[in-house]
Amino acid sequence: MNILTENSFWYAAAGLVSAMLAVILTHITLECKRKPIFAWLSWGLSLACYFVFAWLGCRLAGPQWYDYFIFFGWMIFLPLPCFYLYKEPISTKLFTVVTVIFLSNVGSFLTGLSTTALINNIDPYGPEGYRFLIPFTIMKALIAAAIGIIFVVFLRRTVIDVFNILSHKMGRYVPIPFIACFGFFCIVQIVQSVGLLPQTGILFVLFYLVICLIFAVMYWLIFSNAIWSSRAMKTQAELNVARNIQRDMLPCIFPPFPDRQEFDIYATMDPAKEVGGDFYDFFLVDDKHLALVISDVSGKGVPAALFMVIAKTLIKNQTQPDVSLGEVFTRVNDQLCENNGEGMFVTSFMAVLDLDTLELTYVNAGHNPPVLRRNNGEFSFLKINPGFVLAGLEGMMYKEDKISLAKGDRLFLYTDGVTEANNPSGELFGDDRLLESLNKNATLPLDQLLGGVKASMDAFSAGAEQFDDITMMVLEVR
């Protein structure tokens, strides 16, 4: 018999067209780590092995086994080159190649339907089946080209983006294309066994459309979930970067001025979200004046963090030796009010310590009152004018006040995330518990003092979710 009139040859040839589609889609989706000539030689060898396997299998086993040799030839020979040709993790490689095999399988089914619409009087498995299979192969090539174009234009970029984000978590998705491939194959075999073939007309068309719709919806759900997951992970990664940037903007090296023996400072900030609106700062205005700032921006997350950066920058830039703290806050308030379409505001407390006289000049803009411990005494709240928040109303005037400190005094500054920390019953940590914790740890080193307060808060909250940033800073005069 002439080889070109063998049904088995043309079945294998038609399967080869689908295999070539799978190879091309896989190669343009994954990142090759080998030279192009080596990659295409590897794929060529794989396709040749597939063709021989499918052709000889179909020839020896008979028509009832054609589909099995075609399908399992795909599943055996196409994934193999992926393991050594591409850079991605194995799970990503498997997901890609099996998914494109599934697309090729669906295309084969569509080819049978399309060819039957043109040639419906020849039994594909009969003696003259090749007269059906030759146009079947040509039709498959056209449909494969259409599937390839659709994939490249509409799907490839999305698939690559998903892979880039989920590269190390693709293992959970690998079973999906395998289930789709084997499920579709089993459905086709069951349909053929009950006689629902392309020749049966509209009933077959409806069934085929329903099956395709089911798998289309399934893959849409898979990729939409993966896309949303990838976007969430990308957002999380960006927030982590933002958190690191925000953290790096705050002084984090302690002791901050190791060559200065007149004072010591320690501070911590625990944002409720990846990025927060609280901030603290300390810096030398000149050689004899130390500035302290602690603030709380309204809102949470990225908007609050951005407003925090602006407020922190303005406060530091406006702080000059010849400018009073009241004037600093007045200027900052007016600048923050400009283009404040979101209506955000900042509570802030700022103080400047004269390192010669130990006089502390301070100004408050709606912030929590500081807690002062005189040498060998107990912590108590400092009675201060509350003032009005920054960015709340343009034209506000701020007034500074002064107190005298002595060696051994400690000044504790904090945001309302401390006193408003809640337990599972909704009860707040409050001022009394804060004072109790401060006095309990009053003589400890500064880092242990803040650690003790945080430990008391954690014990009180008992794992309850906290909705506000927790920021603390303590100054000790030496």
Measured CA to CA, the distance from residue 379 to residue 437 in angstroms comes to 10
User: Sheet harboring 346-354: ordered strands across?
Assistant: 278-286, 289-297, 346-354, 359-365, 401-404
Task: Please compute Rg for the chain using Cα positions.
Answer: 36
In 119-197, alpha helices (H):
130-150, 156-165, 175-193
Tens of pLDDT, residue by residue over 201-244, are 566 667 767 777 776 776 677 667 766 776 777 777 777 777 77
CB atoms inside a 10 Å sphere around CB 340: 15
Measured CA to CA, the distance from residue 416 to residue 297 in angstroms comes to 11
How much is the pLDDT for 341?
81
Measured CA to CA, the distance from residue 198 to residue 469 in angstroms comes to 65
Measured CA to CA, the distance from residue 129 to residue 9 in angstroms comes to 11
Provide φ and ψ at 195, rounded to 5°: 85, 10
How much is the pLDDT for 195?
65
Strands (E), 331-449: 346-354, 359-365, 371-373, 379-381, 401-404, 410-414
Sign of CA dihedral 92, 98, 100, 102: negative
CB 416 within 8 A of CB 468: yes
How much is the pLDDT for 156?
76
The structure's pTM equals 0.62
For the chain, which residues score pLDDT lower than 50? 1
Domains of the chain, each with CATH number or no CATH: 3-241 (no CATH), 252-477 (3.60.40.10)
Measured CA to CA, the distance from residue 281 to residue 316 in angstroms comes to 9
Sign of CA dihedral 337, 341, 343, 345: negative
N-term to C-term CA, the chain: 104
Nearest Cα residue to 159 out of 213, 214, 238, 99: 99
How much is the pLDDT for 226?
67
> Omega into 255 within 30° of 0, i.e. cis?
yes
How much is the pLDDT for 64?
78
How much is the pLDDT for 420?
93
Angle (CA) 82-164-106 rounded to 5° is: 55
How much is the pLDDT for 1?
47
CB 236 within 8 A of CB 244: no
How much is the pLDDT for 451?
96
Tens of pLDDT, residue by residue over 65-117, are 888 898 899 999 999 999 999 998 898 899 889 888 888 777 776 666 555 55
Tens of pLDDT, residue by residue over 45-56, are 999 999 999 999
Measured CA to CA, the distance from residue 267 to residue 251 in angstroms comes to 8
In the block, which residue shows the tokens 């070109």? 4
Give the contacts of 288 (CB within 8 A, at least 6 positions apart): 354, 355, 356
How much is the pLDDT for 114?
55
Give the contacts of 74 (CB within 8 A, at least 6 positions apart): 15, 18, 19, 22, 50, 101, 104, 105
Question: Encoding tokens for residue 435?
Answer: 């004072």
Adjacent-strand bridge partners of 411 = 372, 475
Sign of CA dihedral 327, 328, 332, 335: positive
Exposed/middle/buried for residue 451 (C-beta within 10 Å: 0-12, 13-18, 19+) = middle
How much is the pLDDT for 139?
77
Nearest Cα residue to 358 out of 316, 319, 408: 408
